[in-house]
Amino acid sequence: MFNRQKVLLGLLETFGGELPSTDFQKYLFLYTRLCEKDHSYEFVPYKFGCFSFQSYADKAKLVELGYLENTADWKLTISQKSHIKKLSKGVDKKLDLFKNKYGKLKGKKLLQHVYKGYPYYAINSLVAEDILTEDEFSRVKKLKVKRRQKLFATIGYEGIPVEKYINRLIESDVRLLVDVRKNPISRKYGFSKSKLSDFLSKVGIEYIHISELGIVSDKRKTLETKSDYEALFNEYEKTVLVDERSALVRLHDIYIDKKRIAITCFEECHTMCHRHKVANAIGGIADDTFEVVHL
């Protein structure tokens, strides 16, 4: 079991073994932000504020293993013994202190507390305007202002969870993500095509896949040095980007239509990924004001 999953169970046990789903997400958010140096979970702004996709994937696994009941809310099975004892030294005291401070906050009051302290996570909330004061809600609205200028960005997901990746897109007001992987499959949670497109739709970002602009995986297997990567990308530029000119034109047209888009692949550094060649090629099609931002 991953340590983050132990944290889920320990937190739930601390609060009596059963919590409504919305309350549990808020407690998990506050606990990871206030009591952990390295966050067990990251969150995105969703219908009722901060939400962790990874926590629900872990919930499904813990249901499968018999630790949680298969219900909409979060509930420990009665057959399991203490989970708190399985956590690292000192975590039990942190959990007790956390409950003593925040345990009386539930439902609307808990939402208000999180929204006031972390207004970014309320930008997609369906209830923020109803439960916050006018001044408090104005802080939320200021974080959701749409930008008028165009944006062509690139982003890789290496080394970051899907929630942090999505937050980078939201914060840059990216409205459509273009996946330029040849095969959009990943062992990293949340980054295979179906999951990624689903998660993005939940926060109002469109997704499309242009496989023609990808590089076949076999050509990446022997890459070791920077010169290996440069040779591959130079070949890609002279072959794929020439042969798939129509796909580049399509991408350019999408950029003109949607105004703020990002292209994505795996590597964290854009110079170690073919997406920087795609961006350069779009620059050759676009007007003189075209600029690329690497998120």
Q: Are residues 208 and 287 in the same domain?
A: yes
* 138 and 257 share one domain: no
Kindly state whether residues 239 and 167 are assigned to the same domain: yes
191 and 248 within one domain: yes
Q: Which amino acid is at 281?
A: A
Helix (H, G, I), strand (E, B) or coil at 73: coil
Q: By three-state DSSP, how is residue 16 classified?
A: coil
Please give the average per-residue pLDDT across 194-218, as a whole number: 95
Local structure of 77: helix, strand or coil:
coil
Contact 111, 48 (CB under 8 A): yes
Bridge partners of 19, per DSSP, are: 74
Confidence of residue 37 (pLDDT cuts 50, 70, 90): very high
167 and 74 fall within a common domain: no
User: What is the tally of structural domains in the chain?
Assistant: 2
Angle subtended at Cα 110 by Cα 105 and Cα 113, rounded to the nearest 5 degrees:
110
pLDDT at 173: 96
Helix (H) or strand (E) segment spanning residue 166: helix 162-171
Residue 172 pLDDT > 90, yes or no? Answer: yes
Q: Answer yes or no: is pLDDT of 32 > 90.
A: yes
Instruction: Give yes or no for residue 220 having a pLDDT over 80.
Output: no
109, 142, 175 - which closes a domain: 142
With a cut of 70, say whether residue 192 has pLDDT above it. yes
Q: With 90 as the cut, is the pLDDT of residue 40 above it?
A: yes
Confidence (pLDDT) at 234: 93
Q: Are residues 165 and 215 in the same domain?
A: yes
Identify whether the C-beta of residue 66 lies closer than 8 Å to the C-beta of residue 80: yes
Q: How far apart are CA 42 and CA 13, in angstroms?
A: 21
Predicted confidence at residue 229, as pLDDT, reads 84
pLDDT digits (tens, 9 = 90+) for 41-65: 999 999 999 999 999 999 999 999 9
Q: What are phi and psi of 214, to 5 degrees?
A: -85, 170
Q: Is the pLDDT of residue 78 over 90?
A: no
Residue type, 186: S
Do 179 and 251 share a domain, yes or no?
yes
- Whether residue 125 contacts residue 41, with contact meaning beta carbons closer than 8 Å, is answered with no
Specify whether 28 is located in the same domain as 110. yes
Measured CA to CA in angstroms, residue 293 lies from 152, 153, 171, 178 at distances of 6, 5, 13, 15
CATH number of the domain bearing residue 289: 3.40.1010
Lowest mean pLDDT of 17-31, 37-51, 222-236, name the range: 222-236
- Assess whether 38 and 172 both reside in one domain: no
Cα 264 to Cα 181: distance, rounded to the nearest angstrom: 7
Q: What is the 3-state secondary structure (H, E, C) of 194-237?
A: HHHHHHHHHCCCEEEECHHHCCCHHHHCCCCCHHHHHHHHHHHH
Specify whether 108 is located in the same domain as 231.
Answer: no
Asked whether residue 100 falls in the same domain as residue 42, the answer is: yes
The residue among 142, 163, 183 that closes a domain is: 142
Q: pLDDT tens digit string along 114-163?
A: 999 999 999 999 999 999 999 999 999 999 878 889 999 999 999 999 99
Asked if 177 and 97 sit in the same domain, the reply is: no
Say if residue 227's pLDDT is above 90: no
Q: Range of 171's domain? A: 151-294
- In terms of C-beta density within 10 A (0-12 exposed, 13-18 middle, 19 or more buried), how is residue 106 classed? middle
Tokens of 38: 């390295």
pLDDT of residue 106 exceeding 80, the answer is yes
Residue finishing a domain among 83, 118, 142: 142
CB-CB neighbours of 228 under 10 Å = 12
